[in-house]
Structure 1
Amino acid sequence: MADYGETFRTYKHGALHGFIAGLFIALPLISINGLFEQKSWKYMAIQAGYWTVILTIMGAIICGWK
């Protein structure tokens, strides 16, 4: 924090990290669980999309909160 201060504390930066978390954490977890339960790809896409949107919004709010 001493080097950069408030430079990267924006809503966009937090949304980016939330989206990346949704893409690389939520999507594989939902997909593996859906394959194990023999669910359809449409079901897995809806669930993974939901969690990606939620994590994007949470990342934006948490990072942008000052």
Structure 2
Amino acid sequence: MSAQVERTVRDALDHDWAAQHTTAGAPTLLVQPDPYVGLLPEHLLTVVLWAAGLPSNHQRQRRSPAGGDQK
């Protein structure tokens, strides 16, 4: 799962990259905050709701500091 928050000078997101990434099995969401306003709570809510709607097999396991896997 990838959620990419991007602020670019050109005001352009790489939609082709995101589509390819998703097709390759890694669902990808692009969020583009206004560069003059910044990241807002609604952007984070969008990401959280998007991630919550993903099938559970796309949830990555987190690694503990000791190197063991956590679910």
Question: What is the TM-score with the length of structure 1 in the denominator?
Answer: 0.35
Kindly indicate which of the two structures has a greater share of residues assigned to helix. 1
Kindly indicate which of the two structures has a greater share of residues assigned to strand. 2
**Higher relative contact order at CA 8 Å, sep ≥6: structure 1 or structure 2?**
1
